[in-house]
Amino acid sequence: MGGYGRYLFSLLLFAAVLLTEVQSLPYDVHWLSGPTIIEKDVPSLKKNPDIYCYSGQSKNLFALWQTVKLNIKIKNDDFRQYIGESPAEVYEEYTEDSYGWAVVNPFQKRTQKSISVSLFAPTCMAINTKEGHTIELQVIRVDIWRILCMFAGMVLVFSSRALCGNPVFFYFCGIVIGVSASFMVIVYYFSKFLPKRVLTYGVLIGGWTVGVYLFHQVWENLRVLLLSYQTYMFWYTMLVGFVSFIICYRIGPPRNERSKNIVKWTLEGIGVQMIFFSSEYQEAAAAVILSALTVKYFPQSLLLRILGYWRRKFPPKPRLLSSEEYYEEGARETKLALENLRKYCSSPDCAQWKVMLKLNDSKRFATFVEGNSHLSDDEVLDYEAYAFSLDRTRKPDPTANSTRNLEISDDDDDTDYDDD
């Protein structure tokens, strides 16, 4: 009993220490595992930040096209967010940013209101704002965009051979590449007007982050200019697209086999990347890619050999024709054969005079070639009588016995009358 009491005391002590550590954490963690909405009013003098964490899930095929997002609903963009793999990492970034020690990453946008989180790894996020907001964990079981991306990748993989020589696809890709390249040329010549010394000194003094930050600001300003002059950009795109079409029309689609192979491999590479990045379940996406490439490049001779072995091992069961099907097939094939014979006899390849010399009834042959029936009226009557007799033999009439008895009785009566 004493040993059991000591065990219970140690267990209670461990629980108390764990509870003390949890209570002593400088932040509050909210674990989200499904579709959840958390509303936060205007924060008061609370010192501990709220950290929202998605715990992740196990890998399964139902998560192949699944998407999980953390949505932030707030009136304005006056907030900063911190993302990490654990609450401690997020809290460390939160405190560094609060003290002004955080390293600025120009490519990380700090005001994203919708964040796609990893399905299978924990993801945590904290928000630093003075406005009321709502945190929503959105779980999309079947993301239509992921399905379309994987389907488009499959189409590129299986249709790469046909597309590499398709003129319409060639012109379309040429126009897209021409317009994109023209914008890159504009950006290049626009960068020529920037003072190089400022960028050089910025990189030397502030490191690479300052140079990248300046480049990012230039790109943002250029994007604003493009949005401000949409009409001019539309006509510019149409003009460049027309010039690209003229150049592609002058060059023409690739005719060399090696050029087609290069285009085909490029399309297949793009398709493979689209399939791989269409799902966060990368193992399943890789299996889809391997299956698609195996089906496409499986040797035709080996496939025919396997099919032949299967048919020999498991031969298909033949299906017998019914009497109606046999009659219809016979009539159809006979009519087709007679038409072919009539065409041959009417063609110059047939020596009609030699054939007529060997026939007993040349007039009948001539009428057949002209389109009349190959049977005479007597032959038709004989065939119908023969067919009628076969039908009576196969399917006897149930009233035949009574009719036969009636005929016999009539004969008997006649015989008796004659005898009398």
Instruction: Please report, rounded to a whole number, the percentage of residues in the chain having pLDDT higher than 70.
Output: 73
Query: Residue 327 falls within a domain, yes or no?
Result: no
Whether 401 has a pLDDT exceeding 50, the answer reads no
Q: What is the pLDDT of residues 308-317, one digit of tens each?
A: 888 888 888 8
Domain count, the chain: 3
Residues 270 and 389 in one domain: no
Query: What is the average pLDDT across 224-242?
Result: 80
Residues 223 and 288 in one domain: yes
Whether 420 has a pLDDT exceeding 60, the answer reads no
Residues 279 and 154 in one domain: yes
Residues 138 and 213 in one domain: no
Residues 115 and 181 in one domain: no
- The more confident residue out of 224 and 242 is 242
Q: What is the pLDDT of residues 81-104, one digit of tens each?
A: 888 888 888 888 888 766 544 444
CATH of the domain at 13: 2.60.120
Residues 91 and 219 in one domain: no
- Domain range enclosing 276: 147-297
Q: Which of 112, 142, 172 is the last residue of a domain?
A: 142
- The more confident residue out of 226 and 83 is 83
196-to-50, 178, 203, 214, 217 alpha-carbon distances in Å:
44, 29, 11, 12, 15
Task: Report pLDDT for 304.
Answer: 85
Q: Which of 238, 269, 297 is the last residue of a domain?
A: 297
Task: Report pLDDT for 149.
Answer: 93
Q: Which of 142, 161, 187 is the last residue of a domain?
A: 142
Task: Report pLDDT for 330.
Answer: 87
Query: Residue 184 falls within a domain, yes or no?
Result: yes
Banded model confidence at residue 151, pLDDT cuts 50, 70, 90? very high
Residues 138 and 80 in one domain: yes
Query: What is the average pLDDT across 122-142?
Result: 85
Q: What is the pLDDT of residues 261-277, one digit of tens each?
A: 888 899 999 999 999 99
Residues 135 and 152 in one domain: no
Residues 158 and 233 in one domain: yes
- Pairing of β 50-54 and β 28-32: parallel
Query: Residue 413 falls within a domain, yes or no?
Result: no
Q: Which of 11-25, 118-132, 227-241, 377-391 has the lowest mean pLDDT?
A: 11-25
Query: Residue 332 falls within a domain, yes or no?
Result: no
Query: Residue 58 falls within a domain, yes or no?
Result: yes
Task: Report pLDDT for 291.
Answer: 92
Query: What is the average pLDDT across 12-29?
Result: 58
Residues 82 and 45 in one domain: yes
Task: Report pLDDT for 166.
Answer: 83
* H, E, C per residue of the chain: CHHHHHHHHHHHHHHHHHHHHHHCCCCEEEEECCCEEEEECCCCCCCCCEEEEECCCCCCHHHCCCEEEEEEEECCCCEEEEEECCHHHHHHHHHHHHHCCCCCCCCCCCCCCEEEECCCCCEEEEEEECCCEEEEEEEECCCHHHHHHHHHHHHHHHCHHHHCCCHHHHHHHHHHHHHHHHHHHHHHHHHHCCCHHHHHHHHHHHCHHHHHHHHHHHHHHHHHHHHHCHHHHHHHHHHHHHHHHHHHHHHCCCCCHHHHHHHHHHHHHHHHHHHHCCCCCHHHHHHHHHHHHHHHHCCHHHHHHHHHHHHHHCCCCCCCCCHHHHHHHHHHHHHHHHHHHHHHHHCCCCCHHHHHHHCCCHHHHHHHHHCCCCCCHHHHHHHHHHHHHHHHHHCCCCCHHHHHHHHHHHHHHHHHHHHC
Residues 128 and 160 in one domain: no
Task: Report pLDDT for 209.
Answer: 55
- The more confident residue out of 191 and 142 is 142
Query: Residue 354 falls within a domain, yes or no?
Result: yes
Residues 135 and 154 in one domain: no
Query: What is the average pLDDT across 118-146?
Result: 86
Query: Residue 309 falls within a domain, yes or no?
Result: no
- The more confident residue out of 224 and 278 is 278
Query: Residue 78 falls within a domain, yes or no?
Result: yes
Query: What is the average pLDDT across 328-344?
Result: 88
Rounded to whole angstroms, the Cα distance separating 54 from 221 reads: 36
The overall longest dimension of the chain from CA atoms, in Å, is 147
Average pLDDT of the chain, as a whole number: 76
Whether 394 has a pLDDT exceeding 50, the answer reads yes
Whether 326 has a pLDDT exceeding 80, the answer reads yes
